[in-house]
């Protein structure tokens, strides 16, 4: 028995001298092999228990020594592994400038809207906001659309469903144009003028960007929602010449200094006189091409002098004040700038399309 034990101790002592591991997992495997409950060194103690008193006295020290040898070897190896992990971690240069995070690009419609706002803000326009879910009054009624006026048919309206407990079909709808913000801003201004004439602003000069909705079949050329920017300037003695000058300034800023404009008579219920504005086609320089259908001009917006009925319906004295208004489609302007052939691309959020525009 004692001979067998002696051999085992000898074999294990050699093994203890040659312990080797490359990873923390391998160190742990060695610990298990020798020091766990069923490990080789622990089993040695089982043998030891069976020895006589004298034999115990003879071998006790060797067995304990062996155990300590394994314990200290393994502890040392474990510490080495831990410091190795740390060395690897600190091999990175912590002073290095970090890699830049890939930023997205701005949506072309946001870019164009911001550009429109910037251009008009330089001549005193500020941004005004209004709700997308509106009532008939602000979208049509106060803008001089008579109840049975055929002009209401120009825009296919989405009506919001009748609500429980509300009598008659609802007159709540999704706004078909941002001209609705005009009526809200004019009404607020009229209140300020009435309440405190001395401190109320003496004119109103606003830009209303926003989303509008129309019941249209979705195609490359039409969508059920799109974006507009409405402009409104009301003051004493505002003339059509002021309107033309503001729009010429805008066209040159937006499309380049050589851009020409032309105003064609048109009709909108809320302006009188009304006009549509074309800019010279920048593809052919006005000579005529497929893009401008051979005319040399492309239409970009509607405009006119605010109809006195609109001013009056909002509480503004049309004998004292006059104003101009204009409204443009953001997609239309973006199309002219970027030549996007299919309108649906603007709302599909396809990264391959979006990443082509100026990054943030």
User: How far lies 93's CA from each of 96, 97, 180, 215, in Å?
Assistant: 6, 9, 59, 59
Three-class SS state of 251: helix
Residue 125 binds to ligand DAH (criterion: CB under 6 A): no
Per-residue x/- track, 228-247, ligand DAH (CB under 6 A): --x-----------------
Minimal CB distance residue for ligand DAH: 327
Q: What is the token pair recorded at 98?
A: 């970090």
Q: Applying CB under 6 A, which of residues 179, 183, 280, 322 lies at the interface with ligand DAH?
A: 179
- Residue 325 is a binding residue for ligand DAH (CB under 6 A): yes
CB 281 within 8 A of CB 296: yes
Angle, alpha carbons 222-227-229 (nearest 5°)? 135
Stretch that binds ligand DAH, among 4-12, 159-167, 301-309, 330-338 (CB under 6 A): 301-309
Least gap, CB of 279 to ligand DAH (angstroms): 16
CA–CA gap between residue 119 and residue 177 (Å, rounded): 21
- Dihedral of the CA atoms 189, 195, 198, 204 (nearest 10)? 0
> Which CB atom, from 81 or from 311, has the smaller least distance to ligand DAH?
311
142 touching ligand DAH, by CB under 6 A: no
Which residue, 276 or 282, has its beta carbon nearer to ligand DAH?
276
Residue 47 burial (10 A CB sphere; 0-12, 13-18, 19+): middle
Give the whole-angstrom CA distance, residue 98 versus residue 312. Answer: 61
Q: Provide, rounded to whole angstroms, the least separation between the CB of residue 247 and ligand DAH.
A: 11
The correct pick among 210, 269, 323, 327 for binding ligand DAH (CB under 6 A) is 327
Stretch that binds ligand DAH, among 19-27, 282-290, 296-304, 310-318 (CB under 6 A): 296-304
Query: Binding of ligand DAH at residue 326 (CB under 6 A)?
Result: yes
Longest Cα pair distance anywhere in the chain, in angstroms?
A: 127
Query: What angle, rounded to 10 degrees, do the helices at 2-17 and 53-90 form?
Result: 20
At CA 139, angle to CA 316 and CA 327, rounded to 5?
80
Q: Does 189 bind ligand DAH (CB under 6 A)?
A: no
Q: Judged by CB under 6 A, does residue 304 bind ligand DAH? A: yes
140 binds ligand DAH (CB under 6 A): no
Q: Under the rule (CB under 6 A), what is the footprint of ligand DAH?
A: 177, 179, 230, 268, 271, 302-304, 325-327
């Amino acid at each position: 028995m004692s001979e067998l034990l002696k051999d085992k101790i000898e074999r294990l002592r050699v093994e203890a001298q040659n312990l080797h591991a490359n990873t923390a997992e391998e160190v742990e495997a060695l610990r298990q092999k020798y020091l766990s409950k069923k490990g080789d060194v622990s089993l040695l103690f089982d043998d030891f228990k069976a020895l006589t008193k004298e034999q115990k006295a003879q071998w006790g020290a060797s067995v304990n020594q062996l155990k300590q040898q394994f314990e200290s070897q393994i502890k040392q190896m474990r510490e080495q592994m831990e410091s190795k992990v740390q060395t690897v971690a600190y091999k990175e240069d912590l002073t290095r400038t970090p890699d830049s995070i890939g930023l997205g690009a701005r949506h072309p419609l946001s870019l164009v809207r911001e550009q429109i706002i910037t251009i008009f803000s330089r001549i005193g326009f500020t941004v005004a906001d209004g709700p997308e879910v509106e009532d008939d009054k602000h979208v049509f009624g106060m803008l001089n659309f008579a109840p049975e006026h055929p002009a209401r048919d120009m825009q296919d309206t989405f009506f919001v469903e009748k609500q429980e407990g509300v009598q008659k079909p609802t007159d709540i709808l999704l706004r078909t144009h941002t001209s609705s913000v005009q009526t809200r801003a004019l009404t607020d201004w009229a209140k300020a003028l009435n309440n405190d004439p001395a401190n109320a602003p003496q004119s109103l000069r606003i830009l209303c960007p926003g989303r509008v909705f129309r019941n249209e079949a979705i195609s490359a050329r039409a969508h059920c929602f799109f974006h507009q920017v409405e402009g409104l300037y009301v003051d004493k003695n505002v003339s059509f010449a002021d309107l033309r000058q503001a729009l010429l300034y805008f066209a040159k800023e937006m499309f380049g200094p050589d851009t020409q404009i032309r105003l064609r008579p048109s009709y909108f219920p809320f302006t009188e006189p009304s006009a549509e504005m074309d800019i010279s086609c920048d593809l052919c320089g006005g000579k005529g091409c497929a893009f401008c259908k051979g005319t040399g001009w492309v239409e970009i917006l509607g405009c006119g002098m605010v109809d006195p009925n609109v001013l009056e319906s909002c509480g503004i004295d049309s004998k004292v004040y006059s104003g101009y208004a204009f409204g443009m489609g953001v997609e239309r302007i973006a199309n002219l700038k970027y030549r996007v052939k299919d309108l649906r691309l603007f709302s599909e959020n396809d990264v391959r399309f979006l990443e082509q525009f100026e990054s943030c």
